[in-house]
Every structure is written in structure tokens, then in C-alpha cells.
Amino acid sequence: MKTVSYFLFALTLTCCNSQKTLLSESTKPAVQSSEFDTEAIPLGDLNNDKIPDTAFVVGPKFLGQEEAYGDCNNGKCNINILFSGGQPALHFENAVGAQIENIGDIDKDGYAEILIAPSWWVGCHGYIHVYSYKNDAWKHYGYADNNVCGRDTLAEFITGIDGNTLTLEELVWDEQLEDYHEKPKAFIIE
């Protein structure tokens, strides 16, 4: 699957002067390329132009050849998310991968909204970001804080869609109960 994704990525970017990057990716030591290569994530048709859209999550580069969690190049573990439709890349700090999902066109402006949950090597705590594409730029509506290992898809954190309002389930710490409890968090897509 990784191999197929990689070739898709290579094919898609053949037009865009990224061959040098791809070649250097393929010559990395095995330990570096085993888990955090570029991953292609099909998103369906985001912009309703009948052409399927794909996100490419470009993982961080790693220091040296020894596996050392946290040792990313220049001390930074960052990801870039590129889009086949030519939308600007999105950048996240302190991440090595990401889940991305098309959740449909909530505000009916012709462009589907997406959820993005950057991931780390270990741990399940994560932020589920809400994005939309408005006026030729990504618009960030915020995020819900939750256990991202707890569900198969990010869409399962949606508790409601009412008009332009998207509600995600968030885990909030309760001082009295000394435990987390679930609480809806609303995002108004406009």
C-alpha cells in the first residue's frame, strides 16, 4: 500500500519539479523511510469539479541512521500536507503523520470541509482540526481535543451538523470527577 501510494505521489508530482525530493526520499536509510514516508490520502472530490482530490502527508526527515524517537532534522518534527488540487500546503509542528477526512460540504458553498488530526509516534491524545477552503485559502476553525485512537474515523467524532454548525465531541478534564468527560464543541462554518 505504501508502495502504491508512493508511486501515485511520484506520478502526481512529476509535473511539479519535485523529482529531486522524491529521489532523496528513496535513498534514505531504511529505518528512516520505513514508517514516515509520504502518505497519499484520497479525499474524494473536495471542490465539486468531478476530479478526485488527494492529500499527501510529507513526514519529517530524521537525524542519522539510528532510530531515535524525537530526533527529527534540526530538532523539528513537522509535516507538510500537499493537495493534488493545487491548494496551498498545510504545515503542522510536532507531528510525524496525519489523518485527514472529507466530511462533506457543511455550509453548501460547493467546497467540502475537512478534518485533520496530526499524529505523533506514540500516544492517542490528539487535536482534530476543522478546515475549509474559502477565497483561495484554507480557513482554520479550531480543533477538538480527544482520544484519536478511540474511533476508526475522524467523522465518528461528529455529534451533529445543524445548518452551518458542526459539532465535534471533545474530551474535557473534570476537576470534581478527576476524569475526562465528553463535551460537544461547536464550529460555525462560514
Q: How does DSSP classify residue 164?
A: T
Closest CB to Ca ion among 109 and 145? 109
Q: Does 51 bind Ca ion (CB under 5 A)?
A: yes
Q: Does 37 bind Ca ion (CB under 5 A)?
A: no
CA dist list (Å): 186 to 10, 57, 138, 160:
38, 27, 19, 9
Closest CB to Ca ion among 138 and 180? 138
Who contacts 123 (Cβ-Cβ below 8 Å, separation ≥6)?
none
Specify the stretch interacting with Ca ion by CB under 5 A; choose among 14-22, 30-38, 43-51, 148-156. 43-51
- Size, binding site for Ca ion by CB under 5 A: 9
Closest CB to Ca ion among 102 and 119? 102
Could you tell me the smallest distance in angstroms from the CB atom of residue 122 to Ca ion? 34
Could you tell me the smallest distance in angstroms from the CB atom of residue 11 to Ca ion? 17
Interface residue with Ca ion among 12, 47, 159, 165 (CB under 5 A) is 47
Q: What is the DSSP string of 32-51?
A: HHTT-S-EEEEEE-SSSSSS
Segment 105 to 134, residues that bind Ca ion, using CB under 5 A: 105, 107, 109, 111
CA 73 to CA 67: how far, in whole Å?
13
Q: Does 53 bind Ca ion (CB under 5 A)?
A: yes
The answer to whether 115 touches 101, Cβ cutoff 8 Å, is yes
Could you tell me the smallest distance in angstroms from the CB atom of residue 115 to Ca ion? 13
Q: What are phi and psi of 48, to 5 degrees?
A: 60, 35
Residue type for position 128: I
Residues found near Ca ion in the complex (CB under 5 A): 45, 47, 49, 51, 53, 105, 107, 109, 111
